[in-house]
């Protein structure tokens, strides 16, 4: 419940930021133009991102014949979550990771690397796939698309201001120093809020995954194991397409990078601690 409220507050904050920045540097017309362009870009992403990302990772669809144990596991978890059966994919990568995609539960897909199937136990793998199905149940693709739309519109407004200069609704030029500050700081603020939304959704997917699988310990152990392996085994597809790394259960590009406010995922330690705190109630 806390993470749902946090997401709602953050979504309200990024919307308010967009309206304030739009009014300040673009006026009413500039604000609407940036929003329309960002909506158009993200509409395509929302409807077709599943096909694009699966192609980027060369994911191969599997069924009960080609991957019987894995497919039956996902089917059982989907039934427990009261979700339609998603399409199931495998990615031929040694790095252990997984993600969910699709615009809604009726058009969802879950994918896992062959590496994660090798390094995790069956219990741990169930925890991971339950986490991904929690993303589907919570419609996190929609939430991330909306937040990306607002962040993209804010960045676009800043670019408009750089090219044409900031104007208010009556066409008057703003103070150039204030305009420069807004142009540089607004996209950063929007990105920080977008990342905070992503972290809140990961916590919520951990909670939901633990409830679906009924095994918080297993998901916690899986996260620890994935974190260890991620230090030494690169996920090559994510390195070629870094914009997709935020979709994974653990960011494969974060091992040596920025943490905290500039991370799309919470720290593994905090995720594990929250899951372990759930364990007595779930036992």
Task: Tell me, rounded to whole angstroms, the distance of Cα 188 from its chain centroid.
Answer: 18
Round to whole Å and give the CA distance between 170 and 196. Answer: 35
Task: Tell me, rounded to whole angstroms, the distance of Cα 42 from its chain centroid.
Answer: 14
Task: Tell me, rounded to whole angstroms, the distance of Cα 206 from its chain centroid.
Answer: 13
**Neighbour tally for 216: CB within 10 Å:** 25
Query: Which entry of 64, 93, 122, 132 is annotated as an active-site residue?
Result: 132
Written as six digits, the tokens of 241 are: 């397409």
**Neighbour tally for 177: CB within 10 Å:** 8
132 is known as an active-site residue: yes
Look-up of token digits 């759930």: 278
Max CA separation in the chain (angstroms): 67
DSSP string, 123-189: HHHHHHHHHHHHHHHTTHHHHHHHHHHHHHHHHHHHHHHHHH--B-TTSPBPPHHHHHHHHHHHHHH
Round to whole Å and give the CA distance between 88 and 68. Answer: 11
Given the DSSP bridges, would you call strands 60-62 and 98-101 parallel, antiparallel or unpaired? unpaired
Residue 181 per-residue DSSP state: H
Q: Where are the beta strands (DSSP E) in 11-147?
A: 60-62, 87-91, 98-101, 109-113
- Contact at 8 Å (CB) between 88 and 62? yes
Write out the catalytic residue numbers: 132
């Amino acid at each position: 419940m806390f993470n749902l409220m946090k997401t709602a507050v953050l979504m309200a904050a990024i919307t308010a930021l967009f309206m304030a920045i739009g009014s300040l540097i673009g006026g009413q017309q500039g604000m609407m133009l940036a929003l329309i362009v960002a909506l158009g870009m993200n509409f395509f992403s929302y409807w077709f991102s599943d096909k694009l990302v699966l192609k980027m990772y060369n994911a191969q669809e599997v069924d009960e014949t080609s991957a019987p144990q894995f497919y039956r596991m996902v089917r059982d978890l989907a039934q427990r979550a009261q979700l339609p059966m998603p399409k199931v994919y495998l990615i031929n990568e040694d790095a252990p990771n997984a993600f969910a995609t699709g615009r809604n539960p009726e058009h969802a897909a879950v994918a896992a690397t062959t590496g994660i199937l090798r390094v995790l136990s069956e219990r741990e793998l169930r925890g991971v796939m339950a986490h991904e199905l929690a993303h589907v149940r919570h419609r996190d693709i929609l939430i991330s698309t909306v937040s990306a739309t607002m962040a993209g519109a804010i960045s676009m407004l800043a670019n408009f201001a750089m090219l044409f200069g900031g104007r208010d609704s009556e066409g008057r030029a703003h103070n150039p120093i204030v305009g420069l500050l807004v142009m540089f700081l607004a996209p950063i603020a929007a990105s920080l809020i977008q990342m905070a939304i992503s972290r809140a959704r990961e916590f919520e997917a951990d909670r939901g995954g633990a409830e679906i699988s009924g095994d918080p310990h297993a998901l916690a152990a899986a996260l620890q194991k994935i974190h260890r392996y991620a230090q030494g085994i690169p996920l090559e597809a994510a390195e070629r397409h870094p914009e997709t790394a935020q979709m994974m259960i653990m960011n494969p590009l974060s091992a040596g990078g920025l943490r905290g406010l500039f991370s799309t995922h919470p720290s593994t330690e905090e995720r594990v601690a929250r899951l372990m705190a759930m364990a007595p109630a779930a036992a």
